[in-house]
Amino acid sequence: MSLQKPALDPMTLEPRTGSGYPEPYRSRVVPREKRALGDPLGLKTIGINHTVLPPGKESSMRHWHTHEEEFIYVLSGEVVLVTDAGEQLLKAGSCAGFALGTSDGHQLVNRSSQPATYLEISNRDPKDRAFYSDVDMLFHGVGSKPMFTRRDGTEF
């Protein structure tokens, strides 16, 4: 029997496979599958994605947030975590957390031959901005239309 709220089987949700990134960054992350779990359960303060990252793909460009903490927990497969601490291989059962107030950008890269699955969790703050460590891009979360620009504010 299928689960009823407040329970949920993530695999019953349609995934989002696109990305708001401009090229050439978009092709580096798609078609990862993201299933938002908090929204259908009515959660407002926490965002939760169940994400499947195909071989060869990146979770995001390396970045850090101004107002949103992130936590990831690897459910299956393995990913390489890239931060100032270097590269670390995270297998199922490992986790990582990215506190506020640090400019140490992070990303996950699937260098294996199998899909990797992880949960990504964050608080929600409309004031959030994201800075990208290695590419000329900024994320502006302020306002009704979140957008990506170059670091100087010009549009792609």
Stretch that binds a second copy, among 23-31, 53-61, 100-108, 142-150 (CB under 8 A): 100-108
- The tokens of 60 are what? 């995001």
Report CA-CA distances (Å) from 37 to 62, 71, 121, 122. Answer: 24, 15, 10, 12
Options 123, 129, 140, 141; binder of a second copy; rule CB under 8 A: 123
Q: Is 75 in the site for a second copy (CB under 8 A)?
A: yes
Q: Is 114 in the site for a second copy (CB under 8 A)?
A: no
Q: Residues 15-21: contacts with CB within 8 Å, 24+ apart?
A: 15/52, 20/146, 20/147, 20/148, 21/61, 21/137, 21/148
Q: Is 13 in the site for a second copy (CB under 8 A)?
A: no
Report, in angstroms and rounded to the nearest whole number, the Rg of the chain calculated over CA atoms: 16
Options 17, 22, 99, 136; binder of a second copy; rule CB under 8 A: 99
Q: Which residues bind a second copy (CB under 8 A)?
A: 3-11, 37-38, 41-46, 48, 69, 71, 73, 75, 81, 83, 85-86, 88, 90, 93-100, 104, 106, 119, 121-123
